[in-house]
Amino acid sequence: MISSMDGFRMECLVTGAAGFIGSQLCETLLQQGNHVHGIDCLTPYYPRAIKERNLDRLKSNPSFTFHELDLGRDPLTEVVESVDWVFHLAAMPGLVRSWTHFDEYHQHNIVATQRLFESLKDASQLQKVVYASTSSVYGRYASGDEGLPTKPSSPYGITKLAAENLGRVYHEEFGIPVVNLRYFSVYGPGQRPDMGYHRFIDAILKNEPISLFGDGQQVRGNTYVSDIVAATIAAADRAMAGDTFNVGGGELVTVRNVIQMLEKLTGRKAIVQMCPARAGDQRYTGADIRRITKMLGWEPTVSLEEGLNRQIAWQSESIRRAAA
């Protein structure tokens, strides 16, 4: 970890700094004594107020500098010129919307990534670029190691794979030290309101129906957000440029299993409303993490039950505050 590197202070750049994972990555980097530049264009994919609250926690730290910039359009040279590590988490998320708003995904996931890599060609002290990719690059069946064929089943997955390939060619042609991390089903406090576990918990706590797409037998390998953050920093610290790693929590459950766990943990019965399967939805995701464990010494530490308990507590408090 950074904090063990003889107290050396790193200049870090985090794109997507106002988001679910990005804001918690920034917090951890700051806690470890680093200076962090955060970039976000605050897209309206979900309410801006949520992102503003994430930023408020960061802005109180004098070692954090926020830049409201659009990677796909704004000048970037000045903000990247003195950074040691870049964590590229900014992206347009979500599978369903990618079918109907592909221009947004092309702009934010491909064009923005290309412009960021282009701006890094002259960054004199750059040591590592960590790109946050996704299990969606594998397609409907994301079960196996990093050698599994990449066959995205949605436009979202296609744009993320394209960004991975941009990292590959910028590494090969210009020496930009890019590492790809393929995140698997990230959850925990702060999770985006459109994501499955957030929607499930919110519905159960409010005694409202859960929209369950498909038959509920989709298998997910879930990764708690603090484990994702730890893996992301480990990649900057110890990974070899040009490498790719799966990042997953190790526990495989069906979506129905998760709903049953939430019922047990909340002491409430879920109202389940069955809906047609979504186009391009993944059927099975489960990360083989032997490589990242062997190469970087990283492994998940938070069990699914513990992580869901923490997320339930966070969402319960959020609901209480909103009602006060």
User: Which residues are identified as catalytic?
Assistant: 156
88-127 per-residue burial string, b: 16 or more CB within 10 A, e: under 16: bbbbbbbbebbeeeeebbbbbbbbbbbbbbebbeebeebe
Is residue 30 within 8 A of residue 60, CB to CB? The reply is no
Phi first, then psi: give them for residue 320, nearest 5 degrees. -60, -45
In the beta sheet, which residues pair with residue 141? 284
Token pair, residue 206, equals 């409010």
Q: Look up residue 29 and give its amino acid.
A: L
Cα–Cα distances (Å) from 243 to 29, 106, 116, 272, in that order, read 22, 24, 19, 42
CA–CA separation, 319 vs 187, rounded Å? Answer: 18
Give helix 304-323 / helix 196-205 axis angle, nearest 10°: 60
